[in-house]
Amino acid sequence: MSQGGPLLQWRVEACSAGCDTANSYNATSSCLPPGPFCVNLEDRFQDASKLVEKSKWNGDPNSAYWTSDFEPNNAKIENGHMVLSMNLDQNKLQEGKRQGFGATVSSTRLMLYGNVSASIKSGSSSVGVVSSFITKNEQGDEIDYEWTDKVDQVQTNYYWNGQLDYTHSSTEDFNDDLTSGYHLYEIQWMPDAIHWVVDGVVRRTVTRDSTFNETEKNYRFPARPSYIQLSIWDAAQIGSSWTDSWSGGRIDWNDPNRKFAMEFEWIKINCLDPVKDTAWPPVGYEKLSANNNTESNGQGNDTTPIQNYTGYSSKSSVVVPIALAGGLFGGMVIIGYALSALARRKRGAKVDPSAVNPEMERQMVEAA
């Protein structure tokens, strides 16, 4: 890791907050931030082996870029695309009604500031279908793009420390069906501002200064390392009248073969402070293995740690793997320091990542 920049500053702030360097290695109390940290990446999905099932992943971020977090696995790389699918869940019912089972894909590396962009075709072609492209961490920070039943709209949102401030959501309108063609979506996440950019046009900006809370004297701005996460899920899974309304209603599953798909042509990550040494595990640490079970509440929100991952421990003390349940939008397992310390195009047009500028209420409640 570079010796300066936001990562070093983050470590210093963690120490000044009273972390226990000798006995703790988790993301909230350790002077060592969670990892593995960001590496610049442009993935055009030519290598299917870079997406692995979470339960089969060896824990090495160099072996895969992405994990498909839940079983059955509804994510795949084929024909130069990553495809996340949702179909009828034959085994689970919500309030006596049928529901879908989707997919959640997470990056294997964390990002703290930078630009993440993707060419995306939304999968939300019906009421009740939610697609998302977000950054997320275990502390409850998020930066979101979300698509629901309005095919000509995308919602932007952000969260800090898991607090559900319903005023943060914003809706962007387009004169296009976002489910029928690819568009370029960017999250430009800097220490002083977040920009949501669609097809080269800045659609929304939130500055760090604007998030200052006078009562608590703090900035409620996402400023901790996060994973990039992609998902498609059935809003009916929550069993909430609010989510039904937000997503436009319930999906009609009378056709058991009905299927929805969110597609990605490419994803590009430009880290503000990329790591220079990508060796895994880091020098001075020895590998350790953990075998746990992965369970899902049916929409892609996991309830237990992942299976068969390989973390590491220091030679002088044991590092405990940290695994927390993900949130509403296809929550993901976040591995703490045990794994080392997210111009309008015509419909269907290809978008070149070289043109990228480097620079809802949604987590209202977890399903029971």
Catalytic residues: 142, 146
Identify whether the C-beta of residue 43 lies closer than 8 Å to the C-beta of residue 108.
no
Residue with tokens 């698509």: 147
Supply the DSSP string of 94-130, one letter for each residue: ETTEEEEE-EEEEESS-BSSEEEEEEEE----STTEE
Contacts of 75 (CB under 8 A, 6+ apart): 51, 66, 68, 82, 83, 84, 85, 103, 104, 105
Six-digit token string for 126:
């019906």
| Helix then strand then coil, % of the chain, to nearest 5 | 10, 40, 50
Cis amide bond preceding 281, omega within 30 = yes
How many residues appear in the chain? 368
Q: Of 255, 287, 336, 271, nearest to 14 (Cα)?
A: 336
Identity of residue 247: S
Q: Which residues pair with 57 in a beta bridge?
A: none
